[in-house]
Amino acid sequence: MSNKNTCDPDLQNKTDFEGENTPTRSAHFRIAVNALVFVEDRVLLAHRRDIDWWNLPGGGMEIGETIEEALHREVLEETGLEVAIIRLVGLYSKPQKQEVVMTFLARIIGGTLMTTTESRECRFFLPHELPYNILPKHRQRIEDALLNQSQAIIRDQRSTTREDQQAV
């Protein structure tokens, strides 16, 4: 007798540690990266073209990319800068969007800060002078970086984008 459930495409057979096939639910998450780039105590933000929000440079990983490649690509696409990862600052679960975000402290190694097809403006801000229209999740990630923890912070960010936008 088979354990295969043909009615539920998310229910898959998985071999457990004892060699038994047991149905499991596999989660399908988007993996995203953000860069925290500080220069003289100021943090880099990008003002998006598609909506009136400032955010940390970053975005979703593409198929076949490593985490480092995704961070390099996203920062370059949004700011014109090339960066190198210093360390992991935080891991953020966003279950309402089926997303996990890795946020890294990074340093500039090349490129030129510029507007891009994704960002209408890129600028450095003092942490106590962040623009009013920065997403609260990104503000929290900046605050986490400023804690200067030796280990990465693991945090749930359960609010929806709509809730975030209404909170500002």
Residue 24 pLDDT level (bands cut at 50, 70, 90): low
* pTM for the whole structure: 0.81
Other beta carbons within 10 Å of 137: 20
* pLDDT in the model for residue 12: 46
* pLDDT in the model for residue 3: 42
All structural domains of the chain, each given as residue ranges with its CATH number in brackets, are 30-167 (3.90.79.10)
Tokens 């690509």: give the residue.
73
Report the chain's terminal Cα–Cα distance, integer Å.
56
Strand partners, 85: 106
State the average pLDDT over residues 50-55.
94
Residue 108 pLDDT level (bands cut at 50, 70, 90): very high
Lowest mean pLDDT among 49-53, 93-97, 99-103: 93-97
Rounded CA-CA distance 51/11 in Å is: 37
Burial 95-115 (b: 16+ CB within 10 A, else e): eeeeebbbbbbbebeeeebee
